[in-house]
Amino acid sequence: MGGFPIISAVVFLPLIGALIIMGVRSATAGSFSSEEAGKDSRAALLAGLIISSATFVASVAAFLTFDANVAGYQLVEQYAWYGNITYKVGIDGLSMPLILLTTFLTPICLLASWNSIHTRVTEYVVAFLVLETFMLGVFAALDIVLFYIFFESGLIPMFLIIGIWGGKEKIYAAFKFFLYTLLGSLLMLVAVVYMFQAAGSSDIEVLEKFAFPPHVQTWLWLAFAASFAVKLPMWPVHTWLPDAHVQAPTAGSVILAGVLLKMGGYGFLRFSLPMFPDASHLFQPAMFALAVIAIVYTSLVAWRQTDMKKLIAYSSVAHMGFVTLGIFSFNEVGVQGAIFQMLSHGLIASALFLIVGVVYDRMHTREIAAYGGLVKRMPVYATLFMLFTMANIGLPGTSGFIGEILTMVGGFQASTWAAAGAALGVIFSAVYMLTLYRRTVFGEITNPKLNDISDMNVIELVCIVPLALLTILFGVAPNLIFNITEGAANRILSLMVGG
């Protein structure tokens, strides 16, 4: 303790920025949601960009003081708050990369909205910044009640983002997203209250060492899993995701796939494994089965989609199946692979949603059948699309490969069958991604509207190219990540044995 509270600064900087934007907007225009677009709305977006970039810089500063050789929590800040509940934040090798991912993706999201969001822009920026605070809070919280508050608060801005700026069926999608996730979270709340009373503390470090009796663990594990499985999402509670993805605006999909889904995996690693090791072992076969079903089934479903966003949404479910597989392999390779896969998927899926957004902004349709022959008009686009198609399939040299191979190696050590099933998913992912790519990018131009489509502009390039660079960088030098996550992964596994 002592020193500058850098983690709190990172977490709350976006929120403070959002309040400032609201205040300035209502002071200058009387009301911050007037219908006039144009200058004011650009100013709001620009302000949002500056704030989220500053947050990114702050998180990098936190990263620079982060010592990867320490296995436990670092940069911990703790203040008394409410009885035994403390305001306690800090980071370790598990949360640090996810925090960086969040702060990295938020400015990209806002930039990607530059040309696609024209109504109620100030509110849009505010919603994104508030959401960023809640997401960062989830990863930084070291008190389980604080974690829960951030975890559930995130629903509100995401609900508004889908409901206001979404597509035709946005209301249905927003409600489905909210109620599905809420039901899971409330079950987790029951467990949180129980743990709080049993252990007399809500400090995560205390709870990690607290030995819950095995039969209690089973129930607590199930209550937590209800929440994380919906969030991850796992088959069969994944059905909210395609709806939410399809209806959300591009940036909303990016943040949903890039960060919100990772909260599920993070939750399993932070709570379920270290706190309920017996129950985790008990449910390992079930989780493997669900992971393999998710990988195989949703890959096949993805193949049959006619909507580009829906296809990528289902592919996300499949890829999160690899995360489940890695987490529940209970070995270092698998857990590290799962963390890596979460980051890698955060980059690749975000980029794919941005890539769909590029043509959607021009054509206002996501039907695969409406496209074809894009390579003739949009060569740069076709190249980047190719890169991320390959990354999503898991081609060596991209980060997608590392994540998939490691989770499978980890899974193989725990269960040969599970790994074999998951390997099928790699093949299927090639089937649906290549089909998507062939039908949209190659072939003849059949849709006359495509004749004067323009290639990617500078803003779009600025959004997507960094993601491409990182995808290749982490594919070639995965140790950049592993060096950070190694300590945390080993610590979680040792807690499973010792706890």
Partner 1 sequence: MLDYTAMIVAIGPELWLAAAGLLGVLLGAVLKDRFNALSFKYGALALFGAAALSLMFYQGGEAFGGLVRTNTFLNFAKFVSFAVGGFALIMSEGFLKRHDTIRYEYVLLTIFASLGMGMMLSAADLMTLYMGIETLSLSSYVLAAFHRDSARSSEAGLKYFVLGALASGMLLYGASLVYGFSGTTNFVGISSADPSVGLMFGMVLMIVGLGFKISAAPMHVWTPDVYEGAPTPVGAFFASAPKMASMVVFANVMFTAFGDVMDQWQLIVAIISGLSMIIGAFGALTQTNIKRLLGYSSIANVGYALVAVAAGPASGAGAVLIFMTIYVVSALGLFAGVLAMRRRGGMVESIDELGGLMSSRPWLAISLTILIFSIAGLPPFGGFFGKWEVFNAGIEGGLLPLAVILVISSVVSLGYYLRIVKIIWFDEPKERFETIDGSVTLTVLASALVAGILFLVFINQLAQWSYDAASGLAS
Binding positions for partner 1, rule: CB under 8 A: 26, 31-33, 35, 80-83, 120, 123, 134, 145, 148-150, 152-153, 155-156, 159-160, 163-164, 170-171, 174-175, 178-179, 182-183, 186-187, 189-190, 193-194, 196-197
Q: Which residues contact 25 (CB under 8 A, 6 or more apart)?
A: 32, 40, 44, 122
Which one, 164 or 472, has the nearer CB to partner 1? 164
Take residue 161 and report the two structure tokens written for it. Answer: 């983002």
Q: How far is the CB of 198 from partner 1 (least distance, A)?
A: 10
Q: How far is the CB of 62 from partner 1 (least distance, A)?
A: 22
Q: How far is the CB of 217 from partner 1 (least distance, A)?
A: 17
Q: How far is the CB of 7 from partner 1 (least distance, A)?
A: 18
Which one, 8 or 447, has the nearer CB to partner 1? 8
Q: How far is the CB of 106 from partner 1 (least distance, A)?
A: 19
Q: How far is the CB of 122 from partner 1 (least distance, A)?
A: 9
Which one, 81 or 303, has the nearer CB to partner 1? 81
Q: How far is the CB of 134 from partner 1 (least distance, A)?
A: 8
Which one, 176 or 262, has the nearer CB to partner 1? 176
Q: How far is the CB of 159 from partner 1 (least distance, A)?
A: 8
Q: How far is the CB of 409 from partner 1 (least distance, A)?
A: 39
How far apart are alpha carbons 323 and 341 in whole angstroms?
Answer: 6
Which one, 13 or 375, has the nearer CB to partner 1? 13
Q: How far is the CB of 308 from partner 1 (least distance, A)?
A: 25
Q: Which residues contact 9 (CB under 8 A, 6 or more apart)?
A: 58
CB atoms within 10 A of CB 115: 14
Is residue 411 within 8 Å of 418, Cβ to Cβ? yes
Radius of gyration of the chain (CA): 22
Which one, 113 or 341, has the nearer CB to partner 1? 113
The residue type of 412 is F
Q: How far is the CB of 150 from partner 1 (least distance, A)?
A: 8
Which one, 134 or 340, has the nearer CB to partner 1? 134
Three-state DSSP string of the chain: CCCCCHHHHHHHHHHHHHHHHHHHHHHHHCCCCCCCCCHHHHHHHHHHHHHHHHHHHHHHHHHHHCCCCCCCCEEEEEEEEECCEEEEEEECCCHHHHHHHHHHHHHHHHHHCCCCCCCCHHHHHHHHHHHHHHHHHHHHECEHHHHHHHHHHCHHHHHHHHHHHCCCCHHHHHHHHHHHHHHHHHHHHHHHHHHHHHHCCCEHHHHHHCCCCHHHHHHHHHHHHHHHHHHCCCCCCCCHHHHHHHHCCHHHHHHHHHHHHHHHHHHHHHHHHHHCHHHHHHHHHHHHHHHHHHHHHHHHHHHCCCEHHHHHHHHHHHHHHHHHHHHCCCCHHHHHHHHHHHHHHHHHHHHHHHHHHHHHHHHCCCEHHHCCCHHHHCHHHHHHHHHHHHHHHCCCCCHHHHHHHHHHHHHHHHCHHHHHHHHHHHHHHHHHHHHHHHHHHCCCCCCHHHHHCCCCCHHHHHHHHHHHHHHHHHHHCCHHHHHHHHHHHHHHHHHHHHC
Which one, 178 or 437, has the nearer CB to partner 1? 178
Is residue 400 within 8 Å of 394, Cβ to Cβ? yes
Q: How far is the CB of 313 from partner 1 (least distance, A)?
A: 22
Which one, 195 or 320, has the nearer CB to partner 1? 195
